Amino acid sequence: MRQLGDMYHLNKRRNESEAQYLRAKSIYAHQFPPNCLFAILLASLADLYQEMKRYSESEANYIQAVSIYTTRFPRNPNFANCLYSFGEFLEVTGRKTEAVEILQAALQIFQHSNDQSGAERCRAAVQHLAK
């Protein structure tokens, strides 16, 4: 269901994407302990809601994803991508100081995992926000 939601999301079929993500979220929440796949799903749902300008729902899902990653997978490259997206969200919603903090945390994970393109993307975003 998450992958089907991803496919719909990529094809800008947002309502269908949301329906699949929510079905998958319900299953994860009720049948499995918090895990990396659940955090990926939450970040995908947050990205979708951000595109739809449903900011409170987006933020709630980012926060839940970050919580799972922080407590269980603090060095996971997917966590860095989630933080990067969350940083973009914070910038869009006018919270530049928080965005910089989140992007710097993402940068550290990208550097730890030797993801140079991710690290460079974070550096560029932080420099953009510093202007």
- Give pLDDT tens digits for 89-113: 999 999 999 999 999 999 999 999 9
Predicted local confidence at residue 100, as pLDDT: 96
* pLDDT, averaged across the chain: 95
pLDDT at 56 over 90: yes
Q: pTM of the predicted model, to two decimals?
A: 0.93
CA angle at 118 for the pair 114 and 123, rounded to the nearest 5°:
110
Amino acid sitting at position 70? T
Domain ranges in the chain? Answer: 2-130
Strand, coil or helix: 35? coil
The burial class, CB within 10 Å (0-12 / 13-18 / 19+), for 125 is: buried
CA distance 17 to 58: 14
Q: Which CATH superfamily is domain 2-130 in?
A: Tetratricopeptide repeat domain (1.25.40.10)
